[in-house]
Amino acid sequence: MNITSKTKICMVIGDPIEHSLGPQKYNDIYKLLGIDDQFVYVACRVKISDVADFIKGVRAMGIRGVSCTIPHKVEVMKYLDKIDPVAEKIGAVNTIVNDDGFLTGYNTDWTGAVVPLERVTPLQGKTVALIGAGGAARAIAYGVVERGAELTIYNRTPEKAKQLAGAVGAKTGSLDDLEDIKNMDIIINATSVGMQPKHDETPLPKEYITNKQVVLDAVYTPRETRLLREAKEQGARVVYGTEMLLHQGLDQFKLYTGHDVPEDMMRDVLDKYLPPKGTK
Ligand code: ATR
């Protein structure tokens, strides 16, 4: 460790926070880039009722950057000086940058989804089925519509799907009638269905997946979810949730430090801390 009195603090906040890999991931990269004297990264459990005080603390201590996870992505917005227009449209902030006391909120979740998808297929003019209408779904929905896709949203609570569809300009479908999904180009799971420890579950029965489709699962524990395993069995191309994590992290890192992290460096670091491939 190379911490001095000039080292700037970045952090992740959430409640709970103990599962976060942020500190291991970012401190490793600071070291690999030789900037571990300039930055250190910690995690803090912050209660939602304490967010206003927390932001005062960020200003008072000159914390350089704050990554926000559940449940803070919406709540923090009202305490910032500026919200990036994209984050404003998404309605959530996952990244706060402090420039000499001026706090700006960004959202890097949407590029995290769009960049790995566009490596496999263009989005312009494609039909996309998005399952889920929570926080993660919001950023993905914005991203795919922004890139010119025609989006249909499916969610357990239909009112939430309707609300999100209205906000981004999408259609809605019913989880009780999934037949149309067979004819769509891209399927995205943004629910928590299939996440450990319930890795035997899937948000979409296998028979609705075809070999013409691309399937992205935002869930990355396990890395290969049942949805992705079955998509591969059906001959579909798949995009892993870890790729989303990777790309949102690259953008966030650049906002905090100004440094571009080589993609393979970030991938190697994620490989080190996520459960090994093929494990449940
Ligand atoms: P995140 O920020 O990770 O998106 P979230 O905002 O709590 O978390 O959203 C979770 C999403 O997973 C929601 O779309 C939720 O559906 P509801 O809106 O009906 O709550 C969906 N979800 C969670 N558990 C589910 C389950 N067992 N079956 C279907 N959908 C589920």
Q: Which CATH number do you get for residue 46?
A: 3.40.50.10860
Mutate to test the pocket of ligand 1, among 191, 196, 225 (most ligand atoms within 8 A of CB): 191
Helix axes 241-257, 263-273, angle to 10 degrees: 120
Contact criterion met (CB below 8 Å) for 259 and 280 = no
The verdict on 123 and 53 lying in the same domain is no
User: What average pLDDT is seen over the chain?
Assistant: 95
Written as six digits, the tokens of 194 are 């299939």
pLDDT band at 277 (very low <50, low <70, confident <90, very high): low
- Residue 16, judged by CB atoms within 10 A of its CB (0-12, 13-18, 19+), counts as exposed
Are residues 176 and 135 part of one domain? yes
Residue nearest to ligand 1 atom 6, measured at CA: 134
Amino acid at 189: N
- 151 lies in some domain: yes
pLDDT for res 275: 78
CA 88, 90, 93, 96 torsion-angle sign: negative
Quick check: 117 pLDDT over 70? yes
Tell me, in angstroms, the distance from the centre of ligand 1 to residue 194's CA.
11
Which residue ranges have their beta carbon within 6 Å of ligand 1? Answer: 70, 132-137, 155-157, 160, 190-193
Examine residue 57 and state whether it is found in any structural domain, yes or no: yes
Mean pLDDT value across residues 204-220: 97
Helix ranges (H only) for the chain are 22-32, 51-61, 85-90, 109-120, 135-146, 158-168, 226-233, 241-257, 263-273
Mark whether 180 and 72 lie in a shared domain: no
pLDDT band (50, 70, 90) for residue 39: very high
Cα dihedral 65, 67, 73, 77 in deg (nearest 10): 0
**Co-location of 22 and 74 in the same domain:** yes
Region 236-252: mean pLDDT is 96
**Contact call for residues 280 and 225 (beta carbons, < 8 A):** no
Whether 278 maps to a domain, the answer reads no
β-sheet bridge partners, residue 42: 11
pLDDT of residue 10: 98
Looking at the structure, tell me whether residues 33 and 124 fall in a common domain: no
* Count of structural domains, the chain: 2
- Cβ contact 25:251 at 8 Å: no
279, part of any domain: no
The answer to whether the Cα torsion of 251, 134, 77, 69 is positive or negative is negative
Mean pLDDT of 194-202: 94
Tokens 């905090």 sit at which residue?
Answer: 256
Domain co-membership, 115 together with 231: yes
Residue 43 has pLDDT above 90, yes or no: yes
- pLDDT (average), residues 9-20: 95
13 pLDDT above the threshold of 60: yes
Q: What average pLDDT does this structure show over 176-184?
A: 94
Q: How confident is the model at residue 1 (pLDDT cuts 50, 70, 90)?
A: confident
Residue 78 belongs to some domain of the structure: yes
Q: Which residues are catalytic?
A: 73
Strand-pairing partners, residue 203, are none
C-alpha 5 to ligand 1 mean position (Å): 43
Q: How far is the CA of 156 from the centre of ligand 1 (A)?
A: 7
> Looking at the predicted structure, is the pLDDT value of residue 168 above 90?
yes
- Greater confidence (193 vs 1) lies with 193
> Based on the domain organization, do 181 and 199 belong to the same domain?
yes
Residue 94 near residue 67, CB atoms below 8 Å: yes
Q: Which pLDDT value is given to residue 84?
A: 97
Q: In the chain, how long is the greatest CA-to-CA distance? A: 60
Give dist(CA 114, CA 142) in Å, integer: 10
279 pLDDT higher than 60: no
Supply the CATH number for residue 150's domain. 3.40.50.720
Please give the residue range of the domain that contains residue 262.
8-107+248-273
* Number of helices and strands in the chain (H, E): 9, 12
Q: pLDDT by residue (tens digit) across 75-94?
A: 999 999 999 999 999 999 99
Residue 200 maps to a domain: yes
Say if residue 20 is in the same domain as residue 92: yes
205 with 141, same domain: the answer is yes
What residue's CA is closest to ligand 1, atom 12?
A: 191
Does one domain contain both 75 and 194?
Answer: no
Nearest CA to ligand 1 atom 7: 134
One domain, residues 80 and 183? no
In this structure, the answer to whether residues 235 and 129 fall within a common structural domain is: yes
Does some domain include residue 117? yes
